[in-house]
Amino acid sequence: MEQELISVRGLDVAYASGAHALRGLALNVGIGERVGIIGANGAGKTTVARAITGLASAFRATIRGGRITLSGRDITRWPAWKVLREGVVTIPEGRGVISDMTVEDNLRLVLVGLPRAQRSTLAEAFSMYPVLGERRRAMAGLLSGGEQQMLAVARALLARPRLIVADELSLGLAPKVVKEILNGLSARAAGEGTAVLLIEQAAVLSLQFVDRAYVLDQGKVVTQGTSAELRRAGDTTARYLGIADLERSEGLL
């Protein structure tokens, strides 16, 4: 594995409702690495994103045990703004674009307050997804679902983050559109040395993008490995994801 960027050890998280979302979770992400977290709905995937990005408390979740480190520094109970300042950016489930602002203003907003050396340019975002350049003056709320997701990804990358935590990018989108989004994210992240933690229920698509992945079930890691290993795992992986044959499924996309 690459030099470690994020390390999660023994993470235990519960919600105020009483739901015990994560139980002794352990995972890591190397610098510049692409890692997936895959699993069925309710497996605890989104809770991982919230814990790493400092947003757990905003959703009435409590970290009861365990440790999260960023480049060796303990960030387990840091507030979200402090985690963000250290270069960990989230793309939340549901995209999170500002509907009544234009595409261009959504992108400009993320640059406010960044040091000049850390700022990207709008041209970089438009080169990644040309359709955003074509619709730069359109209100974000009028974009298609795929275009809104492109905007969310481009906006996250403008800050030149160390890690992007992307939660369910594929939600409600056709596989062809998701591939276009992930290809743009992959190319730009690789060029910038940005690590990506891709949290997905869509296992087939996810495993085509990441270097390796963890499979979650009921808040625990039940199996892990490289993308190729998990695609070959057959029954073991399908037991948790409901996919009969991962390798054959890829050819359908």
Question: Helices 175-192 and 145-158: crossing angle, nearest 10°?
Answer: 10
**Residue 39 falls inside a structural domain:** yes
**Residue 181 falls inside a structural domain:** yes
Angle, vertex CA 128, rays to CA 149 and CA 36, nearest 5: 55
Closest by CA position to 159, among listed 117, 108, 120: 120
- The tens digit of pLDDT for each residue in 57-93 reads 999 999 999 999 999 999 999 999 999 989 999 998 8
**Residue 58 falls inside a structural domain:** yes
Q: What is the pTM of this model?
A: 0.89
- The tens digit of pLDDT for each residue in 140-151 reads 999 999 999 999
Calpha distance 91→100 (Å, rounded): 19
Q: What are phi and psi of 48, to 5 degrees?
A: -60, -45
**Residue 77 falls inside a structural domain:** yes
Question: Is the four-CA dihedral 16, 240, 250, 193 of positive or negative sign?
Answer: positive
CATH code for the domain in which residue 169 is found = 3.40.50.300
Predicted pLDDT at 113: 65
**Residue 183 falls inside a structural domain:** yes
**Number of structural domains found in the chain:** 1
More confident residue, 94 or 135: 135
**Residue 131 falls inside a structural domain:** no
- The tens digit of pLDDT for each residue in 161-184 reads 999 999 998 888 888 899 899 998
Q: Which domain holds residue 209?
A: 4-94+144-250
**Residue 157 falls inside a structural domain:** yes
